[in-house]
A and B are shown apart, each in its own frame.
Chain A
Amino acid sequence: MIELIAQNPILAALVALVGLSIVFGALLGFAAEKFKVVGDPIVEQIDELLPQTQCGQCGFPGCRPYAESIAAGDVINKCPPGGQSTINAIANLLDVPAPELDAEHGVESEVKTVAYIREDECIGCTKCIQACPVDAILGAAKLMHTVITDECTGCDLCVEPCPVDCIDMLPVAETIADWKWSIPAKPGQMIATDRRGEVSPAVHSEDAA
């Protein structure tokens, strides 16, 4: 047998190559098992980045289903509450270019809002309670309802079902506790993407405040 192989160069090469591939394949397989990187599955990671408003504006019933859909190859620009920063974060995670927000699903709002129920108009129909994805509305049939504003994600889903239109989405006022400094006007810099004819830095000496 060995003699036969030794005398037949084609056979020898074949045996050598097959042998090598088996050895290296086994080695690689072993390494893949042994040094497996245990990380969050990609769905978890995407879900982490989504804003968890559960608003359904993406067309999915909640953030996690959308995360699953992204993991399966869906586009990443369907989340208006998260806005561009979320799109950028997901693009960064998946290592794909970041698209603009798809306006079809809504626009990114500047201010965060929460729901308020005009309580004297509420008829106690419980429709909003059923609509709320995070159980942030308290109340019982024929009794006035109220929103736990701390738990409200501002998803809007309770506004539509209300038969008497007594739910308002009100902006969350900035308080002294969560006020923060803003990034100053950029120092005079020149990068190709800058708009032409923008005010020269010599002019914008006015401060950010």
Chain B
Amino acid sequence: MAFKQVSSPHAHAAQNTSQVMKLVLLATIPGLAALTWQFGWGSFINVVLASVTAVCCEAAIVKMRGRSISFYLGDYSAVVTAVLLGLALPPLAPWWVVVVGTVFSIVVAKQLYGGLGYNPFNPAMVGYVVLLISFPIQMTTWVAPLALLPAGAAHPGLVESLQIVFAGYSPADGVTGATPLDVFKHSSGLLVDQVYDREPLFNQAMFAGAGWEWVNLGFLLGGIILLYQRIFTWHGPVGMLGALALMSIIFWDSGSSSSPGSPLMHLFSGASMMGAFFILTDPVSSAVSNRGRLIFGVLIGVLVYVIRAWGNYPDAVAFAVLLANFAAPFIDNYTLPRTYGHTDRRRATEKEED
């Protein structure tokens, strides 16, 4: 009798990487549903188009490297990247915007760095930033939320949306509009209360901007599901949202004309919730320890607020995440957990003295 010889442990928990990725995909459904409900078919088309492109790119690169395609596609990581990028892009963006962004994300930001697990930056956000810098007009044209559509008008249907995306048809008047963060960016001279009164984007909303609050609630729900499933720990999201809230309270300035907006608006507008639960929780490019992830989240929260309030861009999650990615190895060096039996936490650069 000869037996197989392997290293312990022999037992394994059932969870594997593909399942983790699939759960993440499932958890984006509330957000995607809210986007589709509030902004029409655009986001849905983005997501599908980006996913198809990503899978093709991934397969092509894996094939070029002579590896098993089914094995590498089986981890669903390319789809996750694509879905996140698709959700972040403006609905009804031209198809080539989506394709260029996805190709950049998968080929350059992910595979050229070595594939899953080796990318120093969040691939979806790299793609997003490349698009934002290259095609600012397409990237800042948002669809108006459901509540703000002109009377009698509706979001384009699926077929019409496809025509807009692929054939370059222009959407009907009034279908596109500004985002709440845009509004605040360009509302100098008005008190916050005045902005809230005059802007339909706010006076049609419950607390943070028509349509956007629903989208953010959708991502919050998905994030809580993932948290409950222990896909990630609370440290990153809480760090970011906490810092963002704190910053907006500190600089709230009791709603003066120079106030960058209320805490609620910052938490529930733009990509705040999506960033907190789906972008910065990407484990590959974030810090590794729990303390490190808390600091990583706080850094992103602060940066998001700084760029929103005083920077050139209305939203800032992508930039903030990339900047924090830069800082991740540095954070790691200083946030080693204290090992059992050791009195001090040590920096990773120190060697055991003896």
Contact = CB atoms under 8 A, between A and B. Distances in A.
Do A and B touch (CB < 8 Å)? Answer: yes
Interface string A174-209: 000000010010001111101011101111000111
A137 to B, nearest CB: 36
B118 interface: yes
A207 B4 CA distance: 9
B15 interface: no
Contacts of A194: 65
A191 B5 CA distance: 29
A175 B90 CA distance: 66
B111 interface: yes
A190 B115 contact: yes
Nearest to B61: A190
A191 B118 contact: yes
Interface residues of A, number: 18
B68 A203 contact: yes
Interface string B34-62: 00000000000000000000000000001
B150 interface: no
Contacts of A203: 68
B319 interface: no
B68 A202 contact: yes
Contact of A189 (B7, B66, B70, B118): B118
Main secondary structure of the interface of A (DSSP, over half): loop
B66 A209 contact: no
Interface string A138-151: 00000000000000
Interface in A1-18: none
Contacts of A189: 114-115, 117-118
Contact of B71 (A184, A191, A192, A202): A202
A200 B71 contact: yes
Interface residues of B, number: 17
Contacts of B7: 181, 184, 207-209
Main secondary structure of the interface of B (DSSP, over half): loop
A188 B71 contact: yes
B142 interface: no
A136 B350 CA distance: 39
A188 B72 contact: yes
A191 B114 contact: yes
A202 B75 CA distance: 13
Contacts of A192: 114
B354 to A, nearest CB: 17
B70 A198 contact: no
A194 B118 CA distance: 14
Nearest to B68: A200
Contacts of B71: 188, 200-202
Highest count of chain A CB atoms <10 Å: which of B7, B67, B117: B67
B68 A201 contact: yes
B6 interface: yes
B9 to A, nearest CB: 13
Interface of A: 181, 184, 188-192, 194, 196-198, 200-203, 207-209
Given A189-B117, A191-B118, A197-B66, 11 more contacts: A181-B7, A188-B67, A189-B114, A192-B114, A200-B68, A200-B71, A202-B68, A202-B71, A207-B4, A207-B7, A209-B4
The 8 closest A-B pairs by CB, nearest first: A200-B68, A197-B66, A209-B5, A190-B115, A202-B71, A202-B68, A196-B66, A207-B6
20 contacts: A181-B7, A188-B71, A188-B72, A189-B115, A189-B117, A190-B62, A190-B115, A194-B65, A196-B65, A196-B66, A197-B66, A198-B66, A200-B71, A201-B67, A201-B68, A202-B68, A202-B71, A207-B6, A209-B6, A209-B7
